[in-house]
Amino acid sequence: MLAEPADHALGRSRGGLSTKIHQLVDGHGRPLVVLLGPGQGGDSPVFPHLMAHLSIARPGPGRPRTRPERVRADKAYSSRAIRRHLRERRIIAVIPEPSDQQGHRKRRGSRGGRPPAFDPVDYRNRNVVERGFCHVKQWRGLATRYDKLALTFRGGAVLKAILTWLRALGDTP
């Protein structure tokens, strides 16, 4: 986000005006990509933008990695477009199918297709993602959203990500 969005990443939700922080995290819950969206916005439309911003430097020479081995996500990311995107990039999708999608598929019978592959044992590791979000939400600077501008708020989210990485690397207590 280089320019300030017109809505300042604020959107109506049940609690009033709010902002969603969208993240891609590594296997230890450390943020790799941080984006903002309005509170009423869905998670699924932001996924292609998150994946487009993913870039992990390699330890030696070579281009940065842009393709993770697998993506663990909740039911909000269970759409044909996201699954197709991951399949085309040869990324393993560990995303459960919501009950309404299961019902639609079963109702169509043989035309409904096969259920998507899902590994429930691997999905247990998704709690790392949720813990990462809880860690971000506990930070007072982000929990209160006193910042008027989305750029400033995103700066706080990026600062929290930097602090998380510094703590993980052992550079801060």
pLDDT tens digit string along 119-158? Answer: 889 888 888 888 888 888 788 777 777 777 778 888 888 8
Q: Which two tokens stand for residue 73?
A: 């996500």
Length of the chain: 173
Count of beta carbons in the 10 Å neighbourhood of residue 25: 21
Provide the pLDDT for residue 37: 82
What is the b/e burial string over 79-96, where b = at least 16 CB atoms within 10 angstroms of the residue's CB?
beebbebbeeeeeebbbb
Q: Could you tell me what percent of the chain has a pLDDT over 90?
A: 18
pTM, two decimal places:
0.79
Task: With cut-offs at 50, 70 and 90, classify the pLDDT of residue 92.
Answer: very high
Provide the pLDDT for residue 82: 92
Task: With cut-offs at 50, 70 and 90, classify the pLDDT of residue 6.
Answer: low
Provide the pLDDT for residue 51: 93
